[in-house]
A and B are shown apart, each in its own frame.
Chain A
Amino acid sequence: MIPTIPQSRSFRLIYGGYVLMFFLYLALPLTVVAVFAFNDSQFPSLPWEGFTWNWFFGAEAPQIGVFHERGILRAVGTSVFVAACVAVLSVSVGTTNAFLFNRYDFRGKTVLYVLMLLPLVIPGIVLGISILVFSSTLANGIWDVAQMDIQALRPGLLLVVLGQFSFITTIATLVISARLQKFDRTLEEAALNLGATRLTAVRTITIPFLMPAIIGAVVVAFLMSFENFNTTLMLVGSDAPLTIAMFDRLKEGSTPLLNAVSLLLMLGSSLLALAMILFQRR
């Protein structure tokens, strides 16, 4: 079943057809979401009432577009803020983790490595509730001891950031470790021989080498945080990130406004992904 082994014509046709069907299946839901963003109707469904830009730029009810819808814009702002925090935090810790596992041998290293992988096999919703439970235990304990109510430990943005950080760090660690393993240690030693201190050697030789992986990890962490639903759902307070805000609207019934938001999301994340690929090619 490789090109060098002759296969019957009908087999090749059926196989090719299957793969084609698969890609149609992949594209179908995303395409309909995109197309109905331009439907001049209150519902993202047939019949097609004509083409309109109103769901993007409309300023009057009943067709208020994305760019005039306060709730959605605020939710986008919240999501960007959370995603930026998560990206910076998880990539920083991911980098130190990668160095730790790559450069040091110590007792308990294997155990720590397995623990580091665990967040990948814990369901997101369980991660969410465990952090919710622990933070409220902490908050209640502080209240009992010092009569102080720490709002930050109640559901809200801090907990959302921590919840997402708790598993995205694992991914950042894996991405950066993979590149660090390919690093030629003799380059660093050369720098040391030439009189650089250890820190200077790492800063001027190793970090630039790691840069593609670090940028890649930042983009992946940002996207994962932006899209995260399960963990966020359990930890969210009054400021809802975009996915939660959209979910609440979707439950009430949908208008093409949601399609317009979705289309912008698709464009945004594909642009980001494309930029990352181009950067890494360079």
Chain B
Amino acid sequence: MRNHARIGFVLLLTPLVLWLSLLIIIPHIDMLLISLRERISFGVYDTSLAQYEKALTEPLYLRTFWRTAIMSILATGITLLIAFPVAYYIAKMAKGRLQQVLFLLCLIPFYVSELVRTFGWMILLRETGLISNLLQWVGLADQPVEMLYNDSAMMVGLVYTSMLFMVVPLVTTLESLDDSVIEAGYDLGGNGLSVLREIIIPHAMPGIVSGSIVVFMLSLGNYLTPTMLGGKDSLWFTEMIYNQFIVRSNWELGATFGFMLLLLSSVIVWGMLRLTGRTLQETMG
């Protein structure tokens, strides 16, 4: 029996170890090694920090890096602000059937490819698009308005794409908040604002953290939305990775960019977990 358990354990452990080592750990180590080398001549490489030096001194690279970081944080904040009242409405105000229907409605866009969602915004926002025509019809504009290819269009797309990943964890945590706790807050003389600040938001914190982490990751790693909705000046860091790898075939610099993106996302995720005193297992698992 003891031996049996041992065999079972090994059989169950093998796929996990193979998966994690061959597809996650070793590829990332390899990527790190590639980013640490410099091409001397054809087929001859030297170990150096040259790629990182290049990445950190070239203004375009650095600017794009920080822009991507700040815009992603902004997108996360906006998504949270828009989603919170809706999640609260679904969790606490709506009852029974309405609640289920609203929740399902939030899930629908997730079942549709990101490409389709982005395409929808292109149809809406472009010069010959619906909103431009609507503005002309109402009389607010006397010629076609181009609303595509700028930062705001990109922001609309980013927020839309990740909305679900904020709403769902928020609804889940808010649902677990007992109505009587809120009532008690009012009975003790609290008003709407203080109840929100002292009771509702602290209770929703786990949902806020896990939603924010996922939304931030999705924005940071997004390629489609910045490419399709953003303009010439809204370069995104993922686009630079793609360019180095596929267009320029400069894998060394591309791997460096990849590592910088990974580092940035790890630091922010770690910081958010640290700030709220939670662990990755609690938040994601």
Which one of A51-59, A62-70, A126-134, A206-214 contacts B? A126-134
Q: Does B47 contact A (CB under 8 A)?
A: no
Q: Does A148 contact B (CB under 8 A)?
A: no
Task: Verify B15–A93 contact, CB threshold 8 A.
Answer: yes
Interface residues on B, range: 35 or more
Task: Verify B130–A131 contact, CB threshold 8 A.
Answer: no
Contact partners of B280 in chain A: CB under 8 A = 114, 117, 121
Contact partners of A226 in chain B: CB under 8 A = 113
Majority secondary structure of chain A interface residues (helix, strand, loop or mixed): helix
Q: Are A258 and B119 CB-contacts (below 8 A) given A96-B16, A121-B213, A174-B285?
A: yes
Q: Which B232-285 residues have C-beta < 8 A from chain A?
A: 238, 241-242, 245-246, 251, 254-255, 258, 261-262, 265-266, 269, 280-281, 284-285
Q: Are A106 and B9 CB-contacts (below 8 A) given A5-B186, A33-B119, A243-B115?
A: yes
Q: Does B50 contact A (CB under 8 A)?
A: no
Q: Does A120 contact B (CB under 8 A)?
A: yes
Taken together as a complex, chains A and B put the C-alpha atoms of A106 and B255 apart, in Å, by 35
Task: Verify B182–A2 contact, CB threshold 8 A.
Answer: yes
Q: Name A100's contact: one of B16, B113, B160, B220 (CB within 8 Å).
A: B16
Question: In angstroms, how far is the closest chain A Cβ from the Cβ of B188?
Answer: 13
How many inter-chain residue pairs (CB < 8 Å) link A and B?
A: 240
Taken together as a complex, chains A and B put the C-alpha atoms of A273 and B109 apart, in Å, by 12
Contact partners of A247 in chain B: CB under 8 A = 115, 224
Task: Verify B31–A134 contact, CB threshold 8 A.
Answer: yes
Q: Are A125 and B26 CB-contacts (below 8 A) given A15-B85, A32-B120?
A: no
Q: Does A183 contact B (CB under 8 A)?
A: no
Q: Name B221's contact: one of A28, A126, A131 (CB within 8 Å).
A: A126
Query: Taking CB as reference atom, which chain B residue is nearest A22?
Result: B86
Task: Verify B255–A129 contact, CB threshold 8 A.
Answer: yes
Q: Does B217 contact A (CB under 8 A)?
A: yes
Question: In angstroms, how far is the closest chain A Cβ from the Cβ of B59?
Answer: 23
Task: Verify A29–B117 contact, CB threshold 8 A.
Answer: yes
Contact partners of A254 in chain B: CB under 8 A = 119, 122
Query: Taking CB as reference atom, which chain B residue is nearest A250?
Result: B119
Question: In angstroms, how far is the closest chain B Cβ from the Cβ of A223?
Answer: 6
Q: Does A44 contact B (CB under 8 A)?
A: yes
Taken together as a complex, chains A and B put the C-alpha atoms of A126 and B244 apart, in Å, by 13
Q: Does A99 contact B (CB under 8 A)?
A: yes
Contact partners of B242 in chain A: CB under 8 A = 125, 233-234
Contact partners of A103 in chain B: CB under 8 A = 12
Task: Verify A30–B120 contact, CB threshold 8 A.
Answer: yes
Q: Name A229's contact: one of B20, B223, B262 (CB within 8 Å).
A: B223
Taken together as a complex, chains A and B put the C-alpha atoms of A122 and B284 apart, in Å, by 13
Task: Verify A28–B124 contact, CB threshold 8 A.
Answer: yes
Q: Does B42 contact A (CB under 8 A)?
A: no
Q: Name B285's contact: one of A15, A18, A117, A123 (CB within 8 Å).
A: A117
What 1/0 flags go to B150-188 for Cβ under 8 Å of A? 000000000010010000000000000001001100100
Q: Which B31-81 residues have C-beta < 8 A from chain A?
A: 31, 34
Q: Are A123 and B261 CB-contacts (below 8 A) given A100-B16, A233-B223, A270-B111?
A: yes
Taken together as a complex, chains A and B put the C-alpha atoms of A106 and B265 apart, in Å, by 30
Task: Verify B119–A265 contact, CB threshold 8 A.
Answer: no
Contact partners of A133 in chain B: CB under 8 A = 27, 30-31, 34, 251, 255
Query: Taking CB as reference atom, which chain B residue is nearest A173?
Result: B16
Task: Verify B86–A19 contact, CB threshold 8 A.
Answer: yes
Contact partners of A166 in chain B: CB under 8 A = 19, 23-24
What 1/0 flags go to A34-63 for Cβ under 8 Å of B? 001000000111100000000000000000
Task: Verify B119–A123 contact, CB threshold 8 A.
Answer: no
Q: Are A134 and B27 CB-contacts (below 8 A) given A33-B119, A33-B120, A230-B221?
A: yes
Question: In angstroms, how far is the closest chain A Cβ from the Cβ of B45?
Answer: 12
- Going nearest first, the 7 A-B pairs with the smallest beta carbon separation are A29-B120, A123-B221, A130-B27, A134-B27, A166-B23, A100-B12, A227-B113
Other than the given A116-B16, A230-B221, 14 more pairs (CB < 8 A) read A1-B88, A26-B106, A32-B130, A46-B129, A46-B130, A96-B16, A97-B16, A103-B12, A114-B280, A115-B25, A133-B27, A133-B30, A133-B251, A230-B222
8 A-B residue pairings within 8 Å (CB atoms): A22-B86, A96-B15, A103-B12, A121-B213, A129-B258, A130-B27, A130-B258, A262-B116
